[in-house]
Amino acid sequence: MKTTLTTLGLSLCLLVGCSGQKKQAETNFIQENIDNAVAQETLQTDIIEKSGKILNPRTIDKDGNIVYIPIDDWCSGFYPGNMWLTYELTGDQKWKALAEKYTEDLDSIQYLTWHHDVGFMIGCSYLNGYRLANKTEYKPVIIQTAKSLSTRFRPGAGVIQSWNTDRGWQSQRGWSCPVIIDNMMNLELLFEATRLSGDSTFYNIAVSHANTTMKNHFRPDYSSYHVIDYNPETGEVLHKQTAQGYADESDWARGQAWALYGYTTCYRYTHDQKYLDQAEKVYNFIFNGKNLPEDLIPYWDYDAPNIPNEPRDASAAACTASALYELETYAPGKGYKATADKIMESLASPAYRAEVGTNGNFILMHSVGSIPHGAEIDVPLNYADYYFLEGLMRKRDLESGK
């Protein structure tokens, strides 16, 4: 059997050429994953559409029920984002109409100022609509969101404050101005707002935040802390801690992914070499580092205490893969695409990709929200799906030379 397959492979190779065969395999991989995503998202969306309500699915609970979230939840942009990406991947107008409807439900988020996550919320929804479908009417929403986010900039420290400290579990930690590495993901919205409005304030805030984060969030090996707490007036670093990782000095997997993605994005808008260098150093930390499983889907924390018996985090892997496709375009020939391809193959395998009709109709299984909070452990998450779809789109664009 082995000989027959090898012989078949060889003859095919001779017939269409090995590179032709590779191209075919790449196309098949992308198309098969698009078909799977469409099947899952159709089921997910049909349930919501039939309810007559506008609902926003984030994950599933312990009993397998779909968890829907309010629009001020940090994850509310991913569901419409998944629809925009599906529209981009399929060209099917049905997804555009749905994406518009679920995006526009987030309209009031442009005025939200009580947390920093509006970059995710409006970036994945309105900004994707603007970018992928030329929805020029979304421009004022993007600019207003950047204004709202800018109210959280603390000039004395040079950073955007991530969380408020007057409510919830954040109020128990003794923080003054907590900034999390995740905040790097908000900068794209600020860069875009400057591009759209001509107002450089947003760009300057983004650069200040990226530079201050580069200075204070990273250890000598380029791993990242999760939370840095600042004196907002002087910029003094008061605490270096974690909220979602295993320990203050551990390497929370999604945090490393946010860092890689964030600095790659900063390079896109600034062409400042130091951001590209930073992204590459974070890459080297992740992939030359410790405790990375062979399939490249990390444990939720690289220092989790019971490795290999610890949950994986598919969301960190998907975000990493998507970032690496972009990094490949700025620094080709260093293997970033090959690494991303390997991650995508793992994610698309039955080990991580759910069978259609299961998993609350989310695409990927096995992500982690926050183990210290006992929340969302080994579950699907809408942002794992988002970065998987974005990775698929970027992979397709790279392979077609777009």
Choose between 98 and 177: whose C-beta lies nearer to ligand GLY. 177
Q: Would you say 360 or 369 has its CB closer to ligand GLY?
A: 369
Under the binding rule (CB under 6 A), the answer on residue 254 touching ligand GLY is: yes
Shortest spacing between CB 201 and ligand GLY, in angstroms: 24
- Asked if 244 touches ligand GLY (CB under 6 A), the answer is yes
The residue whose Cβ lies closest to ligand GLY is 182
In the complex, the smallest distance separating the C-beta of residue 373 from ligand GLY, rounded to whole angstroms, is: 10
**244 vs 361, which CB is nearer to ligand GLY?**
244
Q: Which residues contact residue 100 at a Cβ distance below 8 angstroms, ignoring those fewer than 6 apart?
A: 129, 135
Q: Which residues are catalytic?
A: 117, 182
Residue 96 interacting with ligand GLY (CB under 6 A): no
Residue 104 or 378 with smaller CB distance to ligand GLY: 378
Residue bearing tokens 């995710």: 120
Q: How far is the CB of 78 from ligand GLY (least distance, A)?
A: 11
Asked if 241 and 247 touch (Cβ cutoff 8 Å), the reply is no
Pair 155, 168: CB distance under 8 Å: no
Smallest separation (angstroms) from ligand GLY to the CB of 244: 6
Residues contacting ligand GLY: total by CB under 6 A: 5
Is 45 or 119 the residue whose CB approaches ligand GLY more closely?
119
List the Cα angle 42/48/49 in 5-degree steps. 80
Of the candidates 41, 88, 100, 182, which one interacts with ligand GLY according to CB under 6 A?
Answer: 182
Site string for ligand GLY, 345-374 (x = CB under 6 A): ------------------------x-----
Distance between start and end Cα atoms, the chain? 39
Q: Minimum CB separation from ligand GLY for residue 111, in Å? A: 20
Dihedral sign from CA coordinates of 58, 146, 187, 124:
positive
Contact 134, 164 (CB under 8 A): no
Segment 56 to 95, residues that bind ligand GLY, using CB under 6 A:
74
Contacts with ligand GLY, residue ranges (CB under 6 A): 74, 182, 244, 254, 369
